[in-house]
Structure 1
Amino acid sequence: MELNQIWHCPRPELAKRYLALLQAGPVVSTTIFAPRRTGKTVFLRKDLTPAADAAGFTVAYVDLWQTRLNPGIAIVRGLEEALTPRTLAQRALHKLHEPVKKVKASGSAGELKGAIEVELGDAKKEATELALRIEELVVKLVSKKKLLLLVDEAQELARNKENELMAMALRTAITKNSDKLRVVFTGSSRTQLANVFSNSTAPLFSVGATVQEFPLLGRELVEFVAKKFQVASGRTLDVAAGWTAFQEFHQQPEPFLSVVVAMLMDPSLTFERAVATEKAEQDKEENHEGTWASLDAMQRQLLLLFANDPHAKPFGKAALAKLAKALGVPSLAPSDVQYSLNNLKSKTIISKAPGGVHTFESAAFERWVRTLAPVNP
């Protein structure tokens, strides 16, 4: 279990806002964006799910990150789990009166509740059966009560043509059951989310509504953790220093909580040393040096430019002159920069946020580029 699920900082008001938006009428679904490890999943499971339960929804959760190569399996699994009664008595009645129809499944899909079985021999047949099963399960669920479908890391629906077929199945289910079905998509890549929702040829074009920025946890998390730390250890965690470190981690709860847990495990460890160790672990885990080595000189210079100034205009005269000087060439054309920028986007290293700001997909890699990357690559 992730640390931010164990030391969960509740966000009931934010959950109420999302529910109010979905129940207002015009909006059937919405999409929220935030980088990975910033608390989206925990919010869905720990805040939005219980709020939706209390509001009379059945909630189905789908994690596409764990089943990136076959999202259809993940969607069916999430819907099957939502359909499965929770108590022993309910399960007994369910078996007697409403057995779940099985679909054939692949052994590589893992253990799935509801004994989902899929035949993988014919990809088209598999996709068709999964699409029909998704629609069947949604109809069965909404016949009982309102359904809130939570689809985590939805950018995976644009990974390949097979995944796009599952996105189209979702689109059909949403369109046909818009009176009793509400959907929240999340994503951690702006570029890939655009391929799912925003581009005119996207499989869920207009279905995900406007992609909204997910409000990150702020100083309230540091204060919450400081109280937990004091109760657990009898020691004091400096909130001001904690807030500074949390910002350095780009307000990602998991690395910040790892720092605090390290201090609980080793009372002699200082906060500053724990922070430095966690940063080094992040750099090693994500292999920033390997990513850097895979880029050409122009791509590296662009990353250095954006790491130090996200608002930089890469096609402006000043930026072109700066890039040309760093590369040791007389001049650069905007087309030269555009080519490298497109490559960085296709590698999901950089994306363009609203307002023209170029942001890193990985906050840890951004910090590494800004502080540790060679100035003259």
Structure 2
Amino acid sequence: MCHDFHFPRQFQAELIADKFEDQGDSADKVAQFVTAPRHTGKSAFLKRDLVPLLHRRGFHTIYCDLWNGPSCDPGKNIVDVLIAELVAVAKQRGIGLDTLPISKVGVGSYTCLLPATNARRKGTLSTVIGEIIARTECPLVLIVDEAQEAWESPTGQAALTALRQARLEFGSSGTGSKLHLLFAGSHRDKLSALVLKRSAPFFGAQVQEFPRLGRDYIESLVSVVNPRLAPANQLDADDVEAAFELLGYQPKTLTHVVMEHALSASGSEGLKQTVQTAPNSLRARIWRQHEDDFGTLNPMQRSVLRVLIEDGASFSPFAARTLERVGQQLDDVPTAPKVQKALDALREKGLVWRPGRGSYALEDQDMRDWLLDALAA
């Protein structure tokens, strides 16, 4: 009925596009960074609102999503997407691939061969980007979604450095910048690693919080759904808004919940009852995966994870106090090597990441809310 409902955010799209058209080479203009939790509509906004607007304004746009699981190196993903775009652009304009000036592109230790080219020269990402700009005769906007994943591999880090170099190469001129970069991510701390340290590729840029959907989205959704329901089965916007908050502001999950209630025997009135008397049943929709993940851990891993979550940024894995607290749950004070082994296992399971040597942080911040709620129950 409304599973593909999309609420356009034209104002936010225009703010981002306006920055691309504003000339300058300060850090926050070399690249834009936006962050929002996963499943809150960020990627849909990028693809359905921002990209069409940029096309209307005369930009050639490339969208690259790095959220392809641990088996796909994010740096290779960036290279492959840019090369595929160059090949597509050449074919669309009837340009033979054998006229391309390069035969392969290298980033870090990764080299990708181009198809059907007579050249024998190795190029860089700047070479590929320059060819795309020249053949489209348009300024290029590269949107990298879940960009924080690039920092997880040497090839990804090399690709980011190459993009920074390309941005400087195709920066402001008499006719304006020819290359613009937008990095979006669902993990603010990881995304910030690209801008905070002097050694970071985009040092000095600002990471902006992408605004979550609000009351105007709720009212728009209700206005679409209610005409399709019986007069006695109308949704109340206040109930829908309360459910949206309980569901972590995830629009797709909300749509499923709304339709399940509206089409059930209790009808839309059942949503009010759920919100008021069984809110945890809605939270369980987004917390079930955390419960499953936690259930796969052994006692040591669970104990280490609990202390990490409780301490947050002050977590010191091998301090005597940490070892003692971990041991309180095990009836045995563990050694530092055992804690290290548990942390390595948590990293392999994708629950913990290491922003720097000796420091660890929770991968999904929503898991913190789930575990603290579970411990308080």
Q: Which residue of 1 aligns with 2:140?
A: 147
Name stretches of at least 5 consecutive residues in structure 1 with no aligned partner.
104-116, 307-311, 329-338, 353-358
Compute the displacement of 1:135 (Å). Answer: 2.5
Q: Choose which of 286, 294, 312 in structure 2 pairs with 1:289.
A: 294
The residue matched to 1:51 in structure 2 has which SS? helix
| CA gap 1:264/1:349 in 2 versus in 1, 3 angstroms | farther
| CA gap 1:372/1:351 in 2 versus in 1, 3 angstroms | farther
CA contact (8 A) 1:158 1:164 kept: yes
Q: Choose which of 180, 183, 187 in structure 1 pairs with 2:181.
A: 183
**Higher mean C-alpha displacement, 250-259 vs 261-270:** 261-270
The question of 1:136 aligning with 2:127 is answered yes
Q: Choose which of 67, 77, 84 in structure 1 pairs with 2:81.
A: 77
Q: Choose which of 86, 105, 109 in structure 2 pairs with 1:124.
A: 109
The residue matched to 1:183 in structure 2 has which SS? strand
Q: Which residue of 2 aligns with 1:260?
A: 258
Q: Which residue of 1 aligns with 2:337?
A: none
* Counterpart residue identity of residue 375, structure 2: A
* Counterpart residue identity of residue 169, structure 1: A
Q: Deviations for 1:44-100, whole angstroms, at most 9, x for unmatched residues?
A: 111111111111111110011126532323443256347736xxxx96x623xx134
* Counterpart residue identity of residue 195, structure 1: A
Compute the displacement of 1:151 (Å). Answer: 0.4
* Counterpart residue identity of residue 300, structure 1: R
Compute the displacement of 1:123 (Å). Answer: 8.3
Distance 2:296 2:23 in 1: 45
The residue matched to 1:148 in structure 2 has which SS? strand
The residue matched to 2:39 in structure 1 has which SS? coil
Q: Deviations for 1:106-165, whole angstroms, at most 9, x for unmatched residues?
A: xxxxxxxxxxx9999x98352698993633331122221111111001111111212222
Percent identity, aligned pairs only? 23
Distance 1:173 1:9 in 2: 34
Distance 1:124 1:295 in 2: 34
CA contact (8 A) 1:34 1:187 kept: yes
* Counterpart residue identity of residue 138, structure 1: I
Compute the displacement of 1:180 (Å). Answer: 0.9
Q: How does 1:243-258 map to 2 (within 5 A)?
A: 243-258=241-256
Q: How does 1:107-256 map to 2 (within 5 A)?
A: 124=109, 126=111, 132=123, 134-143=125-134, 144-178=137-171, 179-202=177-200, 204-206=201-203, 209-234=205-230, 235-256=233-254
Q: Deviations for 1:264-311, whole angstroms, at most 9, x for unmatched residues?
A: 5545463255975554343333424337756453641453577xxxxx
After TM superposition, the score normalised by the length of structure 2 is 0.70
After TM superposition, the score normalised by the length of structure 1 is 0.70
CA contact (8 A) 1:348 1:361 kept: yes
Distance 1:201 1:58 in 2: 30
Compute the displacement of 1:15 (Å). Answer: 0.8
Q: Choose which of 57, 61, 64 in structure 2 pairs with 1:62.
A: 64
Compute the displacement of 1:198 (Å). Answer: 2.2
Q: Which residue of 2 aligns with 1:107?
A: none
Q: How does 1:44-55 map to 2 (within 5 A)?
A: 44-55=46-57
Distance 1:206 1:128 in 2: 31
Distance 1:177 1:123 in 2: 21
CA contact (8 A) 2:170 2:178 kept: yes
How many residues are aligned here? Answer: 326
Name stretches of at least 5 consecutive residues in structure 2 with no aligned partner.
116-121, 172-176, 330-339, 356-360
CA contact (8 A) 2:150 2:156 kept: yes
Q: Choose which of 17, 20, 27 in structure 2 pairs with 1:19.
A: 17
CA contact (8 A) 2:104 2:123 kept: no
Q: Choose which of 39, 42, 49 in structure 2 pairs with 1:40.
A: 42
| CA gap 1:367/1:82 in 2 versus in 1, 3 angstroms | farther
Q: Deviations for 1:317-376, whole angstroms, at most 9, x for unmatched residues?
A: xxx9xx97x959xxxxxxxxxx9xx99997665999xxxxxx96535423422322367x
| CA gap 1:125/1:151 in 2 versus in 1, 3 angstroms | closer
The residue matched to 2:109 in structure 1 has which SS? helix
**Higher mean C-alpha displacement, 49-58 vs 242-251:** 242-251
Compute the displacement of 1:188 (Å). Answer: 1.5
Q: Which residue of 2 aligns with 1:113?
A: none
* Counterpart residue identity of residue 88, structure 2: T
| CA gap 1:123/1:134 in 2 versus in 1, 3 angstroms | closer
The residue matched to 1:18 in structure 2 has which SS? helix
The residue matched to 2:203 in structure 1 has which SS? coil
The residue matched to 2:123 in structure 1 has which SS? helix
| CA gap 1:129/1:313 in 2 versus in 1, 3 angstroms | same
